[in-house]
Structure 1
Amino acid sequence: MRWGQGEGSLPDGCTWVQDPRAEELRDYFSLTDVALRRVVEPERGLYMAESEKVIRRALGAGHRLRSLLMTPRWVEEWPDLLAVAHEQGAPIYVAEPTVAEAMTGFHLHRGVLAAMHRPELPSVGEVVAGARRVAVLEDIVDHTNVGAAFRSAAALGVDAVLVTPRCADPLYRRSVRVSMGTVFQVPWTRIDPWPDGVEVLRAQGLAVAALALAEDAVTLDHLEAAPPGRLALVLGTEGDGLGRKTVEAADLVVKIPMGGGVDSLNVAAASAVAFWAVRARGG
């Protein structure tokens, strides 16, 4: 391993990186290897926040830094981020773009990455207490879809999100980025076991609606016209949709009316439509 001062002087507390495989930087290795990161990040109790805006949202939610990785041109741009890192005892690493790319597997065009301490997830009861609208993401495997669903949830009045055991990690880098950091804004946790968790939601006072294509499904217009006071809306995986047991356990099944010979929408698009239709109105 070689450490140096780099070109020009760095602010106090910053460490210049020349070796992309330095052991101190292992949190940042192979960020594009999804299979590896699914295991590594939860095991180490960390997640990655990409871009200054996302890092600020994470910090605003009370999350703590493990370290920062920056390219030189951005070091002077965000002195307050450096100050927070100093306050929290988090190392600040600075590397040329080619070194950062060799380390992470992609070009650091947003100028900064943060390894964050992964917070402990709350219980389902804590997350849904008082919630009028809850989204349940069942086995959605694409991190982009998870992030997009969280962004829609934040924008369209969903109070909480629950993810099933096989659902993609909302704190995976791509999910966080696509959500624009709203994964830190909307309360969420995992609901396990599932679909037995439908009974847990019902015991919490929530009506459970499954978004699925079924012969006995009512249209979203019907649900929008007379929504229950407290509602959990369940959306299913990209390929097959909701599982049969989930549909059978729900209080009602709902479908979005389709035209143009299309039978369904991408789950991220469907979530936005459904969240808007069932948004809680009034006090």
Structure 2
Amino acid sequence: MLTFPNAKINIGLHITEKRTDGFHNLESCFYPVGWCDALEILPAQELSFHNSGIPIPGDSQNNLCLKAYYLLKKDFDIPPVWIHLHKVVPIGAGLGGGSADGAFTITTLNKLFSLKLTTEQMQQYARQLGSDCAFFVENQPKYCFGKGDEFDEIGIHLKGKYIILVNPNIHISTAEAYTGILPHAAEVDLKEILKQPIAMWKDLVKNDFEKNLLLKYPVIANIKHELYQYGASYASMTGSGSTVFGIFDNTIDLKQAFNKYMIWQGELL
């Protein structure tokens, strides 16, 4: 079975509280985008994992696809599988690519072996893989809170808008991103602001990670500035960086303008 785990962007991101378990509470709007990996899972005689495309650092046994398989294997008598992941979405880029791979493994195994898991059950398995993973089970725009694994509906309508994502090939670890972050209550009601026309977002919808990271990596700040120069209605770094996105009212091709970087562009759904 072949699937295409997609990335997401954060529209607004506020770090609101340090938790007693070492994690942070946050609030954000997660929105799926079309930049995708390719994931194929087939029944096999023995379990195996293969990857191509962008090299994945670390021991392959720690890959979220395998971790997702083992999670379900504990509770269901599923056979071994052959997993091939072709990695396209950049790693450590604030796009949730690895989280999507893990979540799509859960949803694919559910279909492949007719496990009949509910959405809520699949989300619960996904939460054990990582904070962003559960979002990709439904894979719909959501207001996210808690560790980023609790959801509420959000009135945001971007269908038909055009998005450009620019990744400057900078890997930012979660630990680096949180250095210097001082959690605080959000100054604005994100859910209410995102109901407003996108032209009003520029000075109100913020990503708390930008304050330090745009100073540390001027190239990220330059990309954001250039996207506005090219006419973006709204531009921001996504997640903990380093990818920056711009949302445009109309189709625009900026591949040449950002030809030094990884770039994806397409319509929002």
Q: TM-score, normalised by structure 1?
A: 0.24
Larger proportion of strand: 2
Work out which structure has the larger RCO, using CA pairs closer than 8 Å and 6 or more positions apart in sequence: 2
Instruction: Determine which structure has the larger helix proportion and give its number.
Output: 1
